[in-house]
Structure 1
Amino acid sequence: MSEKINGNLIIIGGAEDKEGKKEILKKVCEFINKDNDTILVATIATEYPKEALKKYKEVFTKLGVKNIKGLDISNRVHAFEEENLNSINEAALIFFTGGDQLRITSIVGGTPIYDALKKASKRGCIIVGTSAGASVMSDTMIVQGDDEESPRKCTLKMAPGLGFVKNIMIDQHFDQRGRIGRLLTGIAQNPEVLGIGIDEDTAIIVTDEGMAEVIGSGAVYFVDGSGITHSNVSEQYCDEVLSMYNVKLHVLKEGNKFNILAKAPFEEEISSNESNKN
């Protein structure tokens, strides 16, 4: 297993199709035995946990899943309860809903629930997150930043995530909310981190070997700042427009694969496509 990735993850950019073909959620269900395994819907991020659980219960039931439970942890007291720990230990797949990613980390950070989630991932439980549940997957997460704006030097608020994946930064609702500027700002401040922007109704399936496969109707953007040769990032004049050179951007669609650890598209796929053209 990679030192950077714990277990297998499905990271969704938000607003996944729940009414039509449900392609992403169908794919989620393929990772479990729908008759015997349990999906645990973690509604920690939202202030409306009952509504969120009801919505996903309806969808997963229609997709043939027999056992669906909720993990409603609305305060830190709940993160110490044995019943909630047992639910995590029994789950084959844990699905983090959208909402506010800072709620997740501030409520479960440093608690037995946090430890149980990390252990669940390592034992093979599939961890899925959509929207805020996607942002929290990494060890550094974007909490707040300007949408549809030019990147500026110090306009981004970041915080530690749950750390299922190391050295990446995830942003969701990416194209729909014009978030390229804020992801670039995040990478300018943390050039060792790989930035991943995921469109709505789009996801990446990440294996513990570091391979990310794109599924869904949109695109996924991988921003590599390791080769930056110039940046004007500093706390001084923080509202200035950001300037940096030699940032690498990869844009992938459904079926494309990206090696997160090597920070490069899957080479065998590229070679195969070039051979088919010849």
Structure 2
Amino acid sequence: MGFFDKVPFCRKLSKITYMKFLFLILLTISMIFPLIGQQKKGKMKNVIHPEMKTGFAAMENVAQLPLLFPNGTQTKQPLAYDATGGNWDHHFLAAFTQYIDTIVLPGGKKIREYVIFDEYGPGVLYRQQMNAWYDRSKIPNGWLAWGEPDQPRADANIRYYFDDEAEPKIDMHLKDYFGTKFYPYTEPLAFVDSGYLFANSYYPLEFSKRLKVTLRPNAQSFEEMDTKWYQYTMLAFPSDYNISSWKGTETEHHNIISQWNNAGQNPNDLSGCQTIRSSNSIKKGEVKQIRSEE
């Protein structure tokens, strides 16, 4: 007695039905294994891999929203947080600062830069939220309901180093970079709270190899202020994904600014488009031509 004779389901089958059943199993196996082999070797045909745009091009191309990113893409949110699980997320050294860089100036003077973001590419930094402009030192058990852009204890430059370059491509005072007054870091790509409690930037920064963001104090008071924290949101792509690093403020951003300033309007070029309406009643078994191209 064979294996299939021991299975109750198979004992109920006639010999002819049993042979058909066995044939279908073998046919299915013979079809699946070649497909698996082709997929592993990258020889699958008729597989469409749409180009996934990044940075401003992705923000402008709303038709891309339903598409999936390449396998292995990660969403990351580096932020200031209390690693002990407490509520000291605004502690300057324990939560706000990841590590300290020591920079040696040409004259030999050493200064410190506080690193808050250090990620390897390819990737895109899409969102930055910064809280740095108010001082609760005089009311340690409470909070001020407003901040000041010229707060002396928030006197520092924010610096963006791309791909291990020695000099940053962006080097601006905190209040200038996040203050929405210096183009193109302006509305609608940037926002600052009316009470200067926090600011957001949606100006995307693409990087091929690495992006490091530091804060260089202009006064010792910056290092004495604990009421600072941030939240950054980025996409990290697989290592073989092709992304060119940010070229500077000449990077194309006019289209997305126009789109966001004209919310509710179709951003696509509709020139040459037509609106065609027709009404037809089709009975069962009847054939009608709905539309013809001439």
TM-score normalized with structure 1 length:
0.27
TM-score normalized with structure 2 length:
0.26
Considering only CA atoms, is the larger Rg found in Structure 1 or Structure 2?
A: 2
Please state which structure has a larger fraction of its residues in helix: 1
Q: Which has the higher contact order (CA 8 A, sep 6+)?
A: 2
